Amino acid sequence: MEQAFGLVHHGTATVGGRSGITANTICCDVCIVGAGPAGLAAALRLADLGRDICVVAPLPGDGNRRWESLTPGAWKILDALGLGTALAQSHCLLSHAASVSWGDREVNRDGHAEVTFLIDRARFDACLMDAARRRGVRLLTPAVASRPQKIGDAWLLPVTTDQTTVSLCAAHVIDASGRKALTGSRRHRLSPATLALCARWRGPPAPPGVTRIEATAESWCWSASLADGAHYAAVFVDPRSLRAARDEPATAFLAAVGRSSPRWDGTLASPVTACDASASRIARAPGLEDTIAAGEAALSLDPLSSQGIQRALVDGQQSAIVVNTLIVHPERRRIAVAFHAERQAEASRRDSAMCHGLYREQATTYQSPFWSRYCGQDTPVEHQLRSPVPLDNLLPETRLRLSPRARLEDTAVIDGDLIALAPALVHPELDRPVAFLAGRSIGSLLARAFSGASAASLFDGWRADSLPEGTALELLRWFWQRGLLVDSSATDAS
C-alpha cells in the first residue's frame, strides 16, 4: 500500500536533525491521526494551504452504522470547504419534521422547523475521505498509529497497515483519533456518565427524515425514520443501571424504549451497540503537549446539544490554522496554542450551560435519580445579556464614547490563515473578546467613537468605509444595546 505513495524510504532516515533510524519512513509536513470530521476538516484546510498532509485512518468500527443529525451550521462549514456537491451524494436525508417531548412540553414541528440533515456516518466519513484524496491529501488506510515519539524537531509515529509496519515522520501531529485519544492521558468527565445504546428497529411507518426526541424517567431517546422504512434510535441511559441489573445492551435498550410512548412500538432490526456518550475533556500525555488535539480527542460534547459534528468541523479547521501558524511563525507558538485551548474551553462552557438548562427543565417533570444527577453538577451559568439599553435613548445627535467598563487589549485571533495578536474589545456583556465585526477590525470600527462623535456621524463614517447601510445600523444598535458605546454626557452610574 505504501509503495503506491512513492514516499517510502528504506534504510537509515534522518529525522529532525538526528540520523540512525532504520525503517520504512514516510515523510510529510503534518500527520493527522483519525479520519472523522475533525481530522479531515484539518486535512482539507491544510492541503488548501499547500501543506503536505498524511492522514492515518483506522480500521472501520464494527457494529451498527450510525445515523446522526447534521445542523445547518455544519452544512455551511462543509460548503465553505468545497464539499457541498460531494455531500449531496452521501445519501443524506432532509429532515423537515420533528417531534419533541421534553419536560412538560410536547412540540410537533412539521415543515416549519429549520431544516436539518440526517447522515449515515459511514457514508459521510467516506465522502470526506474521497474529497481529501482528490485534494492531494495522502491517506494511509486501513492503518493504526502508535503513540508518537519526538526525535529532534520532528515526530516519528509507527503505523501498522494490513501489509506491514512503517514509520511516519512529520514536523507536526494533529490527534483527531476520537475518544481514545492517541496522545491523551487523563480524562476529565464534564457530565455524569452516559451510555448510548443504538440500533435499527421496525416500528410504525413514518415519512423518511422524521426525527423524534422523548424523555422518560430513566433515559432519553432520539430516533429518525429512514428511507428504507426502518428507524434508527439512540437511547441514553445511566451505565450504572445496566451493571446493577446485569442487563445486556439489547435488554436495556428494549426496556428504555418500552417506557416511552406507543410511537416507539416495534422490534429490533439489528444488534444493539453501546458507546460512551459522556461529555469529557482529555489532557495531553506528558511529553506530548506539543501535539495538537482536535475533535473528540480533546473535547466531547453532550449528545443532547446535537453540535458534535459541527464542533468537530470548526475545531478541525482551527487546528489547521494553529499548525499553519506554527509552520510559518514558530515564535507564535504560545499564543497559537493558547488560542486553541481557549476556543475549546469556550465551546465546552457554552455546551454545558445550554444542556444543563435542558436537564434542569426535565428534572422538574421526572424527579428521578437519572435526571437529578445532571442538575447536581457544577455547571457554568449561561451568559445572558442584561436588559438591553433602550434604542429610544439613542438619537442621531447623541455623542458616543466607549464605556468605562470596556477596554481594548491584544488578543489571539484568527487573521486569515494564521493566529495573530489583534486589538479586541473586552466587556462584561461579551462572552469573549471581540476583535472583528462585519469583517472589520474592532479598532477601526471604534476609532471615531474615541473622539466623541455623534451617532449620526459614526453611522455615516461606517457607510463611507463601504459598510452596507443595514450592517452599519445593526452595528450601531449592537454596540448601544450592550452598553459598549454610551452617551458621553451620561454619568458612569447611568
Contact assessment for residue 157 and residue 104, using Cβ atoms and an 8 Å cutoff: no
| Number of neighbours of residue 294 by Cβ within 10 angstroms | 32
Ranges of residues in the chain with a pLDDT under 50 are: 1-22, 62-63, 112, 382, 491-494
Residue with cell 468605509: 465
pLDDT digits (tens, 9 = 90+) for 159-177: 998 888 899 999 999 999 9
435 Cβ neighbours under 8 A, 6+ residues apart: 411, 413, 422, 423, 424, 425, 441, 442
- pLDDT score recorded for residue 488: 86
Domains contained in the chain, CATH given: 2-189+279-356 (3.50.50.60), 195-276 (3.30.9.100), 391-487 (3.90.930)
- Cα of first residue to Cα of last residue in the chain, in angstroms, is 71
- pLDDT score recorded for residue 164: 85
- pLDDT score recorded for residue 377: 54
Alpha helix ranges (H) inside 206-307: 239-245, 249-258
- pLDDT score recorded for residue 158: 94
| Number of neighbours of residue 396 by Cβ within 10 angstroms | 11
In order of 42, 216, 275, the CA distances from 237 in angstroms are: 33, 10, 11
- pLDDT score recorded for residue 263: 66
